[in-house]
Structure 1
C-alpha cells in the first residue's frame, strides 16, 4: 500500500520511498519538479502537441534511472538535466536548432516599425488602469521572450522565473558557468533591443 509522504520529506527519503515501491512518493516527486520540467519543455519545444509526450518521457526516464541517482546535485536539478537532454534529443531528431546561427547579433540594426502601448496613468492607491498597465507590460515582455532563440529563452526562464543559480543552470545544461552568464547577457541585450525596436523607450 502506498502512503502519502510528508510534505517536508527530504530528497533522499523521497527517493528511498519511490525505490521501495511507494507510488504516492513518485507522484510527490513529480509535483516537486513539474514546474521546472514544464519550463524546460515549453521553452525548448515549439510544438504544443509534442510537449505532453516529452514530459511523460522525462518522468519515465526519471523512474527508470532513479536507482542510479547519487545525490551529487539536487534531485530537481537532476530531473531538470534529464528534461533538458530529452528536449535536445527531440530537437536533433527534428533537425531543429537550439541557437540559430542566423540570429541577429544584439548590436545589429533593429527592424523598423515602432509603436506605443496604451498610455495609462497610475494613481496613489490601487488603480485598475495601473494594474492593466502592469499586465500589459508583463504581456509585452513575455511575448518578446518567446521570440528569443530556444536556448536564450530557456536560460532566461531558469534564471529569472525558476530562480536557479548559474551553477544549477550549468548542471542542467552542461554549460560552464561563464557560458551561462555570457548567454544570459546576450539574451537580455537582444531582448532589450527587440523591445526598443517595437516600443518607444519612455513607454517601457
Structure 2
C-alpha cells in the first residue's frame, strides 16, 4: 500500500490502517524519541503521544515530503520539547558540552549495533539526533533539515562533529582496554 492509500484509509478511520501506520513507523519514532528521553516509561508514553498527534494531524499532511519525514519531524520536535520541559538537557541544544560517560565494554554476547548506539548515546542531543537520522534512519540532508529545522550547513557540521567525537570516544575506549592488558 502506498503512502497516499495509507493516509486515506487512516483518515477514513480504518483501524487496520492505523495499526499498519504505527507498525511501519514505530522504529523511526522510537529512534527519534530515545535520543532525547532515557526513562523507559517516559519514552513509551511519548512515543504513544507522537502517534496520537500524527493521527490527529494527518489531515494536514500535504505530501510535500515523504510521510516518514513528516512523522520524524513530529517525533523530533516532541522529544526535544519534552527534554527541555523535563530539564533533561539543562542547556540550549547549540551549547551542549560533550560528556564522556562510563566506560563502555563490549561483551561477546553484545551486538555491535547495540555497542555503537551506546556510544552514540554519549553524544549531545543535537549531534546524536542528526547522526541517528542520517545513518540509522537513512534520511538525506534535505530531509534532516526539514525534520530538525536546522540549516543544512549546521546538519552537515553536526554530523561531522559527531563522527569526530565518536572517534575520540572509541580511541579513549581502546586506550582503557590496552591499559587493562
TM-score normalized by structure 2?
0.84
Corresponding residue number in structure 1 for 2:172: 197
1:115 and 1:199 in contact (8 A); partners too: no
Corresponding residue number in structure 1 for 2:95: 101
Corresponding residue number in structure 2 for 1:174: 149
Displacement, 1:73? 0.8
Runs of 4 or more above 6 Å deviation: 114-118
Corresponding residue number in structure 1 for 2:45: 53
Counterpart check, 1:141 vs 2:135: no
Corresponding residue number in structure 1 for 2:127: 152
1:38 to 22, 30, 33: 30
Counterpart check, 1:91 vs 2:98: no
Residues 17 and 142 of structure 1, relative CA distance in 2, 3 Å threshold: closer
The structure in which a higher percent of residues are helix is 2
Task: Count the aligned residue pairs.
Answer: 175
Displacement, 1:19? 1.1
Give the root-mean-square deviation of aligned CA atoms: 2.9
Structure with the greater relative contact order (CA < 8 A, sep ≥ 6): 1 or 2?
1
5+ residue gaps, structure 2: none
Corresponding residue number in structure 2 for 1:22: 14
1:65 to 53, 57, 63: 57
Larger radius of gyration: 1
Corresponding residue number in structure 1 for 2:138: 163
Displacement, 1:146? 1.4
TM-score normalized by structure 1?
0.75
